[in-house]
Structure 1
Amino acid sequence: MTTTTRENFSFADLEQWLNQRRVTEIECLVPDLTGVARGKILPREKFTEDRGMRLPEAVVAMGVTGEFPEEGPYYDVITPTDRDMHLRPDPSTVRIVPWATDPTAQVIHDCFDRDGQLVPFAPRSVLRRVCDLYASQGWKPVVAPELEFYLVARNTDPDMPLKPPIGRSGRSETSRQAYSIDAVNEFDPLFEDVYDYCGKMELNVDTLIHEIGAGQMEINFFHDHPLGLADEVFLFKRTVREAALRHDMFATFMAKPIAGEPGSAMHIHQSVVREGDGGNLFSLPDGSPSPEFFWYIGGLQKYIPACMALFAPYVNSYRRLARYTAAPINIQWGTDNRTVGIRSPVAPPQARRIENRVIGADANPYVALAATLACGWLGIRNRIEPSPECKGDAYLGDYQLPRSLGEALELLRAEKDLHEVLGEAFITVYTEVKETEYAEFMKVISPWEREHLLLHV
């Protein structure tokens, strides 16, 4: 079974799939706002009988610390009575759990209310909402994520800095090894497991490379529909973390896990295909860029700053977005220019696409894809012209992105166009949860403060 046949996978197909693999347990998963897998593990019989489950709606609306806002607009959306969501499995998402002892499957669920409507603040619902906007115009967005992450030595003390893990040679990396084949092979046993797991789960992973940082890797995904690829990124993160643990190391998708090393991004290539003839909306019949191509870039330029709380969702995220750290600091665009935030790779007309390089690896894939597609949608709808192309080093330009989570949340709250596309309920829940996280962070006194302020101020 391939990704294309999964598209119209029915419950009958699902039952046959489970029977063929003699599955006895089902991990019923729902991604929350942070991208964490919530849910329940059900016996096969119970799963088949119920075709879903219930969970409190706040389960998908809490922060990375597990805390909830104590008061405020959050409770205009989330009822204080802690009512249930009705979770329905999406048959097309079924995959084996390759590391489980007993035959176990995992199925991603959508969240509905008691009236059968999608819960508007659930991340998968938000991405569905944006994709439906494109479908209403006879368009199909196509995306391809490039996901960076670090392998680090096992670390059980959060007060201690992270370090690169020890490879097959018995040594850990002490220098940067961008694109080094031998450096990847240092962790060959781990990546054999990763590729084995991905193969059994039918994840469409493409290229594995060693990135700039010590112990930093990147995995590329084949292009496909946004919802399916968000599912794959969500499942891939679980897979790499599990494989790393089995090799006595951690895999982390933090945006900036190690001081002095580059941060980790989730670059997203995106284009739009016409449903009728399958042509690329970004190219004219003569092969030149279309007006929609430029309007899409214009939308990204206008709305990315207000989306940064979605693209860079934690206080740590903003440590990555610094000058000369292989991460963008502005919303300039350019052709085959990796210093800009919005890049157009060199490609034939049928493959013309735009790469959003701003998004961090720590972003929820459903939220990040929904937000970047929303920016492009608004650009086309409002015919927003981009600034002139940047043909030089964009790192020399001014900062055009918020420098902190607090500033980013203010911009998101103020941008009503994004509220319209992503949904008011989602924006309310998301920003209130992030404010709660930010308040928790501000209770912590960092080593830098003790080092420089204790005896000097």
Structure 2
Amino acid sequence: MNSTDLQKQKVINEIEENGVEFIRLQFVDIFGVLKSVNITTDELDNAFDGNLMFDGSSIDGFARINESDQCLKPDPDTFQVMPWRPKEKGVARMICDVYTPDGKPFEGCPRNTLKRALKEVRETGLELNVGPEGEFFLFHIDEKGCPVFHIHDHAGYFDLAPVDRGENARRDIVLTMKKMGFRIEASHHEVAPGQHEIDFKYDEALKTADKWVTFKDVVKNIAKQHNLYATFMPKPFYRENGSAMHCNQSLFKNGENIFYDSSTECGLSQVAHYYIGGLLKHAKGITAIGNPIVNSYKRLKPGYEAPVQIGWSKSNRSTLIRVPASRGSATRVELRSPDPTANPYLIFAVMVKAGLHGIKNKITPPESIEEDVYNLSPKKRAQLDLDHLPRDLYAALKAMEEDPLIKETISEHTYNRFLEAKYKEWSDYAEQIHDWEIKSYLGKY
């Protein structure tokens, strides 16, 4: 019996042990939105054989009507019982890859995109580990279960109950995640009212992307059980911090972290510097992938612990890239621009491709900036000559079009569909008349 057959048999054993009757086959569209189809355990063999067809033209960005047939192939390694569902006739899930009817990986499948990028990583003898930080807001819901713009608490950073009124929901989220195999490193109230953070231990990039999709699913479902609505919208409040998806990343070779070098003063290897150089070079092009909605750019403003200018630091949190203090096997590079609306498979793919480009071309980053970038003097700002991240979605899409690496990484199919949809989103937003305009201009002119 080969390894794949062993994995399938393991799934069958777990189904029997846990009394599972229904399996959710999950995947994400190119915008990171989770999709699911339910099957009974009787259809499991059919699904494993790639015989479960669906209409790809009904999924945003997947296929046109004349090329719509696609199929789902579940990854048995992602099998998890959903602990918040009934134990009798229980529910489990598996994350799927999307294939064409002739058995080829569909190039528009985000999970396949990350697999392609990681294949290049493995061909160089490396492994990419990623650890995202998960931030979200909790809102009240109305009698119909719909979210209302009424925050559930007014606590601040690291506050405790009873000020932190989301503590019970956050605890149950953590306990549920632990039942699903997550190793939780920290959970706490964040800076803004109603804002929370849960961090789970880093893992190999594909496993982490799968875990991020599951994390968001768990957060929303457990919040609902507490009569709350969890949103990963980056910036729901004016003049408050927004939610980020800080991406901590490191490269390992033969079990050793190659970003670490004990012989250097800062503990960073030359490879780490080149990787940072690649991320900085492609920072503008990456932005639309890491910050894919109009609201994303309300977060990327000075003074709210979000990056604005393109630079890096060995310590402070005002730069685009920060190198946390830990060294040895924990040495890592933190990209601080992405937010939780990013598709994890796509952002991880473009991050590592940018970093590899830096390593291959020996791109040396500029000097690190240890001062608060938000409060630099005009003279110092002029000396550093720092470039800006795109200031809105339209500028980010233009920057994406100017960077060939993005198209090369995510495939022409995803690239074209993404741009088409996001330019329309920007156009729809730009044509709307907003409350601010009415309040500012209606009685003045």
Is TM more than 0.5 here? yes
Query: Does 1:215 pair with 2:194?
Result: yes
Give the deviation of 1:330 after TM superposition.
Answer: 1.3
The worse-fitting range, judged by mean Cα deviation, of 425-434 and 182-191 is: 182-191
Which string of whole-angstrom CA distances, capped at 9 and with x for unpartnered residues, describes residues 238-289 of structure 1? 1111111111111111000122211000001101001xx3222213463642
Give the AA of the match of 1:111.
Answer: V
Give the deviation of 1:116 after TM superposition.
Answer: 2.1
Cα distance between partner residues in 1 of 2:127 and 2:219: 30
Query: Does 1:149 pair with 2:122?
Result: no
Which string of whole-angstrom CA distances, capped at 9 and with x for unpartnered residues, describes residues 373-428 of structure 1? 22212111221110111010112355610011111111111211222233222212
Q: Secondary structure at the match of 2:359?
A: helix
Kept in 2, the 8 Å contact 1:7–1:92? The answer is: no
Give the AA of the match of 1:410.
Answer: K
Give the AA of the match of 1:13.
Answer: K
Match 1:447 to one of 432, 435, 440 = 435
Give the AA of the match of 1:245.
Answer: K
Kept in 2, the 8 Å contact 1:9–1:92? The answer is: no
Match 2:92 to one of 83, 97, 105 = 105
Segments of structure 2 that go 5 or more residues without pairing to the other structure are 376-380
Give the deviation of 1:161 after TM superposition.
Answer: 7.4
Give the deviation of 1:140 after TM superposition.
Answer: 0.3
Cα distance between partner residues in 2 of 1:184 and 1:125: 44
Q: Secondary structure at the match of 2:389?
A: coil
Aligned to 1:290: 269
Match 2:109 to one of 122, 129, 132 = 122
Give the deviation of 1:11 after TM superposition.
Answer: 1.2
Give the AA of the match of 2:199.
Answer: N
Aligned to 1:281: 258
Q: Secondary structure at the match of 2:150?
A: coil
Aligned to 1:29: 26
Cα distance between partner residues in 1 of 2:201 and 2:337: 20
Give the AA of the match of 2:97.
Answer: D
The worse-fitting range, judged by mean Cα deviation, of 439-448 and 369-378 is: 439-448
Query: Does 1:325 pair with 2:312?
Result: no
Give the deviation of 1:438 after TM superposition.
Answer: 2.2
Cα pair distance change 1:130/1:9, threshold 3 Å: farther
Segments of structure 1 that go 5 or more residues without pairing to the other structure are 1-5, 63-76, 166-171
Match 1:438 to one of 408, 412, 426 = 426
Q: Secondary structure at the match of 1:379?
A: helix
Aligned to 2:243: 264
Query: Does 1:303 pair with 2:285?
Result: no
Q: Secondary structure at the match of 1:150?
A: strand
Cα distance between partner residues in 1 of 2:414 and 2:57: 12
Match 2:71 to one of 76, 83, 86 = 86
Which string of whole-angstrom CA distances, capped at 9 and with x for unpartnered residues, describes residues 195-234 of structure 1? 2321222233321021110111111110110111111111
Kept in 1, the 8 Å contact 2:29–2:60? The answer is: yes
Q: Which has the higher contact order (CA 8 A, sep 6+)?
A: 1
Match 2:412 to one of 398, 412, 424 = 424
TM-score normalised by structure 2 residue count: 0.90
Q: Secondary structure at the match of 2:226?
A: coil
Cα distance between partner residues in 2 of 1:343 and 1:198: 28
Give the AA of the match of 2:21.
Answer: T
CA RMSD of aligned residues (A): 2.4
The worse-fitting range, judged by mean Cα deviation, of 442-451 and 293-302 is: 442-451
The worse-fitting range, judged by mean Cα deviation, of 186-195 and 314-323 is: 186-195
Kept in 2, the 8 Å contact 1:61–1:430? The answer is: no
Give the AA of the match of 2:54.
Answer: L
Give the AA of the match of 1:149.
Answer: F
Q: Secondary structure at the match of 2:32?
A: coil
Aligned to 2:401: 413
Cα pair distance change 1:7/1:323, threshold 3 Å: farther
Aligned ranges 1:192-271 → 2 under 5 Å:
192-271=171-250
Kept in 1, the 8 Å contact 2:53–2:70? The answer is: yes
Cα distance between partner residues in 2 of 1:420 and 1:441: 29
Q: Secondary structure at the match of 2:93?
A: strand
Q: Secondary structure at the match of 1:289?
A: coil
* Aligned residues between the structures: 427
Give the AA of the match of 1:98.
Answer: P
Give the AA of the match of 1:448.
Answer: W
Query: Does 1:389 pair with 2:338?
Result: no
